[in-house]
């Protein structure tokens, strides 16, 4: 078998989507006994992953079968993570997944990332085994919280001095981006979320909600109203960050605004990723009617996960 690991090209995306679909449907059947019929990823989703870090996107190509595996890398300043990683079921257990992972981790290390990891489903023992053998270790549990969005039932945030603006409507985007970078760095040294703001705008994935307090950015939320997969109309808070010290009113204002934004987009459901250690964020989400729909284990190859109950840094390192 002549298999080559190389950088992904735009023309590989159609095949990469096919590999992803077959891989995930196979995983659902093997892990849960479900003959799932997941739909393919949307073009916007897969393109944003490639453009996140084109030099860190890889494919495994067989001489005869073509693309049989793929892996994406993401650099958020000094933080880097891997995902999604997919290998065709018929080519699994041959070391391809481990090699794709090795290439991605190496790329993130070369980019100067000091915190490097990924997230996976803790019940997937096959993947856990591969990741552990590759040197990753579990560090945090991340809960995916979901809620049906009914416009008439959305609760307004309590009156406060926090004002929510949309990044797409800003007349001073450069200054806002600069402040968003500062808020990111206050959560974890070197962390920079501005790339996600730019990708969201470039591929029309949704919008970034900016919480203003005393004419400064106090927090922000990147909200995707374009789903990850076709025929699965679920919106998501890609990430949500509040400048320390923790301010519940900023968090609640952003979550409330995200729900209204999703309702305006006619999306029926909203997901938010919350580290289990962030008790105040969990309590607020539960009080607004969210329930746990999935759990992910954050694994670290080096550095720290950045998870703490003392900060609101809500995001997922999962594709």
Q: Is the entire prediction scored with pTM above 0.85?
A: yes
Please give the pLDDT value at position 29. 79
Please give the pLDDT value at position 85. 97
Please give the pLDDT value at position 34. 67
Q: Where is 30: in which H helix or E strand?
A: helix 13-32
- Give dist(CA 308, CA 294) in Å, integer: 20
Non-local CB neighbours of 10 within 8 Å, separated by 6+ positions: 50
Please give the pLDDT value at position 203. 97
| Domains, the chain, with CATH or none | 3-113 (3.40.630.30), 145-315 (3.40.630.30)
Per-residue pLDDT tens over the stretch 31-64: 676 666 789 999 999 999 999 999 999 999 998 8
Please give the pLDDT value at position 143. 98
Please give the pLDDT value at position 36. 64
Please give the pLDDT value at position 1. 58
Q: How far apart are the first and last CA of the chain?
A: 29
Q: What is the largest CA-CA distance in the chain?
A: 64
- Between strands 115-120 and 137-148, the pairing is unpaired
Please give the pLDDT value at position 124. 85
Q: Of 74, 64, 107, which is closest to residue 198 (Cα–Cα)?
A: 74
Q: Are 75 and 195 in contact, with CB atoms under 8 Å apart?
A: yes
Residues of the chain with pLDDT under 50: none
């Amino acid at each position: 078998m002549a298999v080559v690991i190389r950088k992904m090209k735009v023309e590989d995306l159609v095949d990469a989507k096919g590999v992803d679909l077959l891989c995930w449907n196979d995983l659902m059947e093997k892990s849960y006994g479900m003959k799932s019929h997941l739909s393919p990823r949307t073009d916007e989703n897969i393109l944003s992953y490639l453009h996140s870090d084109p030099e860190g996107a890889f494919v495994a190509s067989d001489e005869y079968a073509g693309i049989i595996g793929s892996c994406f890398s993401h650099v958020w300043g000094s933080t880097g993570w891997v995902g999604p990683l997919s290998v065709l079921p018929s080519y699994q257990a041959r070391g391809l997944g481990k090699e794709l992972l090795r290439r991605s981790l190496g790329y993130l290390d070369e980019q100067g990332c000091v915190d490097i990891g990924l997230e996976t489903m803790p019940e997937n023992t096959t993947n856990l085994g591969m990741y552990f053998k590759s040197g990753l270790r579990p560090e945090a549990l991340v809960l995916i919280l979901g809620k049906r969005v009914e416009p008439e039932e959305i609760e307004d945030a309590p009156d406060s001095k926090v004002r929510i603006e949309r990044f797409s409507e800003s007349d001073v985007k450069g200054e806002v981006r600069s402040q968003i970078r500062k808020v990111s760095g206050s959560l974890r040294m070197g962390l920079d979320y501005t790339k996600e703001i730019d990708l969201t705008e470039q591929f029309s994935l949704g919008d970034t909600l900016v919480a203003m307090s005393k004419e400064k950015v106090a927090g922000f939320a990147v909200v995707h109203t374009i789903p990850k997969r076709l025929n699965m109309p679920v919106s998501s808070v890609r990430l949500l960050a509040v400048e320390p010290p923790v301010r519940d009113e900023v968090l609640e204002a952003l979550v409330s605004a995200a729900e209204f934004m999703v309702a305006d987009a006619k999306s029926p459901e909203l997901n938010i990723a919350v580290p289990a250690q962030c008790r105040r964020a969990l309590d607020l989400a539960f009080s607004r009617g969210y329930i746990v729909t999935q759990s992910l284990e954050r694994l670290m190859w080096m550095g720290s996960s950045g998870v703490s109950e003392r900060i609101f840094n809500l995001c997922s390192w999962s594709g």
